[in-house]
Amino acid sequence: MKAGLIDSKVEQKDTYPLMGSLPVYKMRASTPPACFLVRSGRNPDERIYTGGLPVSEKERSLQSMRPSSPANGYPLDPAAGSSGCRITRASSSNYSHQPVMLSEVLSFLGSIPSGYFLDATIGGAGHSKALLELREDIHLVGIDQDKEAHAAASDALADMNGRFNLVHSRFDRINDVLDELGIDKISGALFDLGVSSYQLDTPSRGFSFRKDGPLDMRMNKDAGQKAEDLINNSTHSELAQILKTYGDEKHSRRIAKAIIEARPLFTTSQLAEVVIAAMPPSSRKFPGHPARRTFQAIRIAVNDEIGILQTAIMQTIDRLETKGRCVIISYHSGEDRVVKRALRTAAGLKNTVPKHLPKPAGNPAIKLLARSGQTPSEDELIKNSRSKSARLRWFEKAEV
Ligand SMILES: C[S@@+](CC[C@H](N)C(=O)[O-])C[C@H]1O[C@@H](n2cnc3c(N)ncnc32)[C@H](O)[C@@H]1O
């Protein structure tokens, strides 16, 4: 354990909304860095330390983030992550994910003011690593609710000593995460929504309709209901609504009926078989796997992916400094609709405020730098078919 942690006074601070029994402890270190740890109720020995972030002035903190200052002043020990803090490691050797629209992300974020960059969905750190390589004056705060992503990100960023903090959290807690790290304003942010290829391709995570595994689908394996609970306990109308809203599934009602008749269901293969059998023969063909939309819808519901998006966007807008920039990549029309509406409202564009309500006073909070979303290039679509539903939107914080 680090000197800064041994001497720390531990004080219970808060509870992650999704994580149920995960108390967050704020560490009062006698000297910087201010660190905090997340302790799992299920396995109290499992914890993630993040931190090492000088909390007062930006200047001072940016200095201590330089690679010449490993672990933000503390020597690394073998169990420490490359941020200089101890990290409970899941194996990252199988982690694979190709960052989507990387060159577009870098061209939009490459000129952000120096300071703190928030990657709200760090995954394997594909985008963020490239940004840190491009800009030495940026310090990364990476959030992910999946601990396996942390192990991968930590490996990917191994040669970026002292330039990042990884936090196990959900992105609707951006304000709490930044407050805990003593960060006021950020100069840029990225949301690369949805799941990683690693999550999709790992059968034990339960996201795959092609490989057998338990019906889990939680990004945070420590908390929340599993897909199995949702599927086996929801009513017909609840299931049909989920499939229609989050999966744009035309046959939502008949699939919901078939699920109810076949349940209890415990594995991804069982669910995929029920869905395929429930579809009219003409719909079992193209495009894509017949169960794709059902799996997407259940995954979105299990992780409340759309419900928390607007909150996260509003917190980000509030935290961005003037001329700070944010990129949001969504992969589903329902997701993109929430993003588009939130951004148009913040940009003060027409048709977002009902006619009978007064227009918001004051200047708009953001400038939308392109009105419509951007999609991947032909070249990227050929190289990475999983990028095909991506839609990128970006904006800049306006002067107040
Ligand atoms: C598409 S991947 C990001 C990949 C990353 N940009 C890269 O280049 O490696 C999305 C990641 O966001 C995480 N995630 C999704 N929703 C989240 C949420 N609400 N809060 C925190 N993490 C989330 C997932 O666990 C996953 O690791």
Question: Where are the chain's structural domains?
Answer: 82-194+307-397, 203-302
Q: Which pLDDT score is estimated for 258?
A: 98
Minimum CA distance residue for ligand 1 atom 15: 194
pLDDT > 90 in the chain, percent: 65
Per-residue pLDDT reduced to its tens digit, 125-174: 999 999 999 999 999 999 999 999 999 999 999 999 899 999 999 999 99
With a CB cutoff of 8 Å and minimum separation 6, the contacts of 322 are 397, 398, 399, 400
Give the type of residue at 297.
A
Rounded Cα distance, 44 and 39, in Å: 6
In ligand 1, the atom with minimum distance to the C-alpha of 100 is 8
CATH C-level class of 203-302: mainly alpha
82-194+307-397 is a CATH 3.40.50.150 domain = yes
Cβ < 6 A, ligand 1 pocket: 97, 99, 121, 123-127, 143-146, 149, 170-171, 192, 194-196, 219, 308
Burial class of residue 305, CB neighbours in 10 A (0-12, 13-18, 19+): buried
Per-residue pLDDT reduced to its tens digit, 55-96: 334 444 444 443 333 222 222 222 333 333 333 344 566 788
| Residue 327, SS3 per DSSP | strand
